[in-house]
Amino acid sequence: MDIRTYFAQGAPLLFDGAMGTYFASQPGRAEERCERACLTRPEEILHIHRAYLEAGCRAIKTNTFSVSADLADGMDETARDIVDAACRLALQAAASYGAYVFADLGPAPLDRSRTPAEVYQTQAQWFLDLGVTHFVAETLSDDEGIREFAHWLKKQCPEAFLMVSFAVGHDGLTRAGRLGGDLYRRTAQITEVDAVGFNCVSGPHHLLEYIKTLELSGKPLAVMPNAGYPTVLGRRTVFQGQPDYFAGQMVQIVRAGASIVGGCCGTTPEHIAQTAQALEKPLPKACPAAPEKRPKLTMDVSNSLWEKLEAGKHVITVELDPPADDNSEGFLEDVQALRDAGADTVTIADCPIGRPRADSSLLACKIKRELGMEPLPHLTCRDRNMNATKALLLGLSMEGVHNVLLVTGDPIPTEDRDEVKSVFNFNSRKLARFVSVLNESTLRASMRIYGALNLNARNFEVELRRAQEKEECGVTGFLTQPVLSAEALDNLKLAHATLQGKILGGIFPVVSHRNACFLNNEIAGMRVCDEIVALYEGKDRDAAEDLAVTISTRIAKEIFPYTDGFYLMTPFRRVALMERIIKNIQR
């Protein structure tokens, strides 16, 4: 029966459960990659397919979830071999049950030589060549490449059926920080996508509650939750959700509007068998209910930095490195001195050059609470996963800190990399989008998002394009690298003409000839022109500081028409020098 005819009859389509976790639960298989087993242990994979079919499912997925990652890494031969074997096994298993076979496309990694659309298209062509025309792109955290892939697929095979499924947590967010509801709506609007839904990460209860909040599109809704949440026993990760509970929840999910159901991580043939039995019983008629709107609480807060920027006033922000120990007295004294000199805000680096220092966000809360000054903490992508990032942002908001500067973060020093690992769940654009989602869904007062802009980039067109992408992700202002050359000034003028966000122009007071040479040779993103370098030759400390004040004041005047404020960077904790510069540029 054609799958579209099947859906027209109104009966839910029951899929299989989790190939990966079920295979891993077998003796001696925990460390083995289940997709590779299509080649090395085909009889075991065939047996698992048949176990789910015998349990009562009407559709199975090919054992190819990780092939997208293989292709993204350039392992085409391995990927093709797995697809060939997996298709043969799935088609063989499904034939005697009259079940549908879906080509399983796992998420395509980003930032590789192949785009996600190319990854999906390459393997989809292999599936089409083998006679498989039903596809599920599952466990996605964003919709990168889906629109292009859907268009391509229906051109190649108009009768193809494409289902797209996103992985959301109980808060409705994906691992990429996207709102599941937004992804659902965007994807359902793609004509060539036939069904949309959710799988993995969440257990059945949370996915049931989540789909109740959605305005359904009219296309088949797919819901394939995990069997509850994992726990670690010894060295094994196991799911303890019971099949009877899972089946009862799946009945409720169908009543809530799902027409495609099945299981993800932890679901066994027994979960599917009990679900099949439960769905055979007449389902009570459910009155269609309006989505359960959960209004987001809001509160009015003062954000003096943003208020001044919005009012068109030039602001002054000064960067201070956090202490390397637990003594904050000197740091707070410096902040107070800068505030008294006329600085509007202090911005605090987040473990600069990858070395541990006092936490920038905790210091920001301390500044806000004890000095009443508006802080701007840096938040890097280097040291926190999504959970830690969200927790930190919630804490900042509670403490009245509503400005953050999002940066990738300096790499961990080479000598530390064996023991200290970077995280990088995000790049700065994804992190901005994640904070924007929290602004919409969770935070009672919006967090103003700032990004970095490198005016000294070798290819500034690429840098400017990235800045525009940051704006699309929610960035409302930029702090630039220092203007210490004619090229940087020209790039600032171009940025001013191109970007919508507020621009705080970078000013770094060079304090010696040695300092200028060091910046040019050892600090990424810095460029001191030869003319300025030459001015420092032979100068002692006092003369060099006087020169730094003169040059910084001149630069401030030059960049004033193209900025909304100044971003001063403090060298070597020379706060008295910064006070002189602040007083000069305020005249």
Closest CA to 120 of 90, 140, 99, 92: 140
List of residues 6+ apart from 557 with CB closer than 8 A: 585
Structural contact between residues 334 and 320, judged by C-beta atoms closer than 8 angstroms: yes
Pairing of strands 345-348, 374-380: parallel
E strand or H helix at 398, and its extent?
Answer: helix 386-398
3-state SS of 531-563 is HHHHHCCCCCHHHHHHHHHHHHHHHHHHHHHHC
3-state SS of 205-263 is HHHHHHHCCCCCCCCCEEEECCCCCEEEECCEEEECCCHHHHHHHHHHHHHCCEEEECC
Classified as helix, coil or strand, 503 is strand
| Euclidean distance between CA atoms 406 and 411, whole angstroms | 15
| Euclidean distance between CA atoms 15 and 253, whole angstroms | 14
Q: Where are the alpha helices (DSSP H) in 25-106?
A: 37-40, 42-55, 67-72, 76-95
| Euclidean distance between CA atoms 319 and 335, whole angstroms | 10
Closest CA to 289 of 242, 335, 255: 255
Tell me the CA end-to-end span of the chain in Å, nearest whole number: 81
**How many other CB atoms are found less than 10 A from the CB of residue 282?**
5
List of residues 6+ apart from 188 with CB closer than 8 A: 196, 217, 218, 219
**How many other CB atoms are found less than 10 A from the CB of residue 389?**
23
Any known ligand binding at 200? yes
* Amino acid identity at 64: T
| Euclidean distance between CA atoms 358 and 161, whole angstroms | 54
| Euclidean distance between CA atoms 24 and 39, whole angstroms | 16
Structural contact between residues 259 and 299, judged by C-beta atoms closer than 8 angstroms: no
Phi/psi-derived region of residue 351, left when phi > 0, alpha when psi is between -120 and 50, beta in every other case: left
For 228, the token pair is 């509850």
Binding site listing for Zn(2+): 200, 264-265
Binding site listing: 200, 264-265
